[in-house]
Amino acid sequence: MKKFAIALAALASAVLPAASTITLPSIISPHMVLQQQSDARLWGWATPGAEISVHPQWLGEAVVAIADSTGRWDVTVSTPEASMTPCTIGFRGDGSEITVDDVLIGEVWFCSGQSNMEMTFSGYTNQPIDGADQAIASTLQYPHIRMARVHKRLSEEPQDSARAPWRKVSPQNVRTMSALCYFFARELTDMLHVPVGIIDCSYDGTRIEGWLSADRLNTYPEIDLEAERTDGRPDQWHRSNLLYNGMLYPVRGYNVKGFLWYQGYSNIGEHELYASRQHDFVTDLRKEWADTTLPFIFVEMPPLHCQHPDSIEAALFREAQLRAEDITPRTRMVGTSDIAYPHEVHVIHGSRKGDIARRMAWMAADLAYGIEGLPTDYPRFDSIAIEPDRAVITLVNAPNGLTPHFDMPGFEVAGTDGVFRPAKAHVDWITRAIIVELPAGTDRIESVRYNFRNFNTESVHNLIGLPLTPFRTDK
């Protein structure tokens, strides 16, 4: 089925340039949202040399382009401030006329990743979305939230177009839309009081390398694109570059305010490489969109089983994600160490997408819109001082301490034998430092870990409710 999808994509792209009248990509379609106060990019195809005039209703004058030798034409149009009032855009020339109606001006975000980004309100087998019923009903209050779902497509070569029609949210439509994307858009529009458009470009089971360009991948000595073409593997969606070619490349440049990313499960075990790979991915996204300042907000790998709940494969991956945040400007990781139910130990699709999306929206409001004071700064490890029978740990972003402040869960200590044992911990009332005690059976404190396991359901928080980021001192 995956190989058949590649063949269909190639066939569709082969006939596209033959347009003899105006042809628009499906992402330029009724119900679309354009980024407010931007030079919005619009494009399409026509007969080579044809003059195409674009008539945005709000401008009162046309913007003109000439189709190049391949038939491609591009224009930019200035957009006004956001408005809930729909408008139209007319396209004329080459013997045809197209009117795109129900266009809104607002905020647009590009969302990508694998199955947890893609997961709809219908859920996966025995894996629901918390609050799906209320969320579905709430769409009646949000007709100004729109989503363009980039249809799944694997391609050996970069494609000019992909199916990505815009749809208004409604109780019927939202059932097949990304739950996280909808929750994010709803939270954002509640804060900003403007229309919100989401481009959902996600594909379940994919690796970050699938979303990277051939130019980038060719700089990695451990990746051989030609060998991947001929290896005959059945899981084609795991191959490098195919998602970039078939899904990301066709919609690149559609004006957005920023990027949301929820991916990683398929890259667990590759923590040594992941931070630099994500850094490169962000760098390339910003290059494709010709804006080095676009914010990139991503989701920390939530608690999950992996090989065993008490193993550390996922913990090592989360550590790599934190490193990616530290080395890449204007990126922020949304903490999720407290977002799992005990019964979800054996699933990879947690149900609390609304909680994650809410934190992402707060981060977006801070990073992209400059709204100060929102809960976005997660408490993190700062330093450790080891004493004979205890370790003193200082944090950032927890000025008034933590809760619970006594019998704090998740702390472990290793001595010279390297074996980690549960340790008692509390917050010093005066200094706000965490005091971790030497556990029985440990000769001395060599290193401390906090929630550095694959799966956990107990966390400590700062006093505005954000979880302490998992850490270890034995790096």
Tell me if 275 is assigned to some domain: yes
| Residue 110: C-alpha distances to residues 231, 236, 286, 306, 391 (Å) | 32, 24, 12, 28, 43
β-pairing, 196-202 with 145-149?
parallel
Q: Are residues 289 and 431 in the same domain?
A: no
Q: Kindly tell me the burial class for residue 452, based on how many C-beta atoms sit within 10 Å of its own C-beta (0-12, 13-18, 19 or more).
A: buried
Tell me the CB-side half-sphere exposure of residue 138, using CA atoms within 13 A: 14
**Strands of 411-414's sheet in order across:** 420-422, 411-414, 447-450, 471-472
φ and ψ of 354, to 5 deg: -65, -40
Q: Are residues 324 and 466 in the same domain?
A: no
158 — pLDDT class (breaks 50, 70, 90): very high
Tell me if 7 is assigned to some domain: no
φ and ψ of 57, to 5 deg: -60, -35
Q: Are residues 233 and 251 in the same domain?
A: yes
Q: Are residues 229 and 277 in the same domain?
A: yes
Average pLDDT on 291-311 reads: 95
Q: Kindly tell me the burial class for residue 233, based on how many C-beta atoms sit within 10 Å of its own C-beta (0-12, 13-18, 19 or more).
A: exposed
303 Cα distance to chain centroid: 17
Domain stops at, among 311, 335, 367: 367
Q: Which residues of 189-223 are buried (b: 16+ CB within 10 A; e: fewer)?
A: beebebbbbbbbbbbbebbbbbbbbeebbeebeeb
The residue type found at 342 is P
Q: What is the CATH number of the domain that holds 302?
A: 3.40.50.1110
Here the tokens at position 195 are 């229309």
Q: Are residues 159 and 86 in the same domain?
A: no
Tell me if 3 is assigned to some domain: no
Q: Are residues 294 and 410 in the same domain?
A: no
The residue type found at 87 is C
According to the model, what pLDDT value does residue 230 have?
A: 87
Tell me if 5 is assigned to some domain: no
Tell me the CB-side half-sphere exposure of residue 340, using CA atoms within 13 A: 24
Q: What is the CATH number of the domain that holds 50?
A: 2.60.40.10
Mean residue pLDDT of the chain comes to 94
SS3 43: strand
Q: Are residues 322 and 270 in the same domain?
A: yes
According to the model, what pLDDT value does residue 13 have?
A: 40
According to the model, what pLDDT value does residue 8 have?
A: 36
Q: How many domains does the chain have?
A: 3
Tell me if 251 is assigned to some domain: yes
Tell me if 373 is assigned to some domain: no
Here the tokens at position 406 are 């006594």
Q: Are residues 62 and 160 in the same domain?
A: no
d(CA 61, CA 53): 10
Q: What is the pLDDT of residues 2-33, one digit of tens each?
A: 443 443 344 344 334 444 599 999 999 999 99
Contacts of 125 (CB under 8 A, 6+ apart): none
Domain stops at, among 55, 78, 101: 101
SS3 164: coil
- Token look-up 């109780």 returns 171
Tell me if 6 is assigned to some domain: no
Q: Are residues 312 and 386 in the same domain?
A: no
pTM, full prediction = 0.94
φ and ψ of 90, to 5 deg: -100, 145
Tell me if 372 is assigned to some domain: no
Query: Residue 137's domain spans which residues?
Result: 105-367
Q: Are residues 239 and 284 in the same domain?
A: yes
Q: What is the pLDDT of residues 440-460, one digit of tens each?
A: 999 999 999 999 999 999 999
Q: Are residues 269 and 393 in the same domain?
A: no
According to the model, what pLDDT value does residue 20 have?
A: 56
φ and ψ of 292, to 5 deg: -75, -5
d(CA 315, CA 152): 30
Strand segments, DSSP code E, in 21-69 are 33-35, 39-45, 51-56, 63-66
Q: How many Cβ atoms sit within 10 Å of the Cβ of residue 226? A: 7
According to the model, what pLDDT value does residue 1 have?
A: 40
Domain stops at, among 344, 367, 390: 367
DSSP one-letter code for 246? I
Q: Are residues 175 and 161 in the same domain?
A: yes
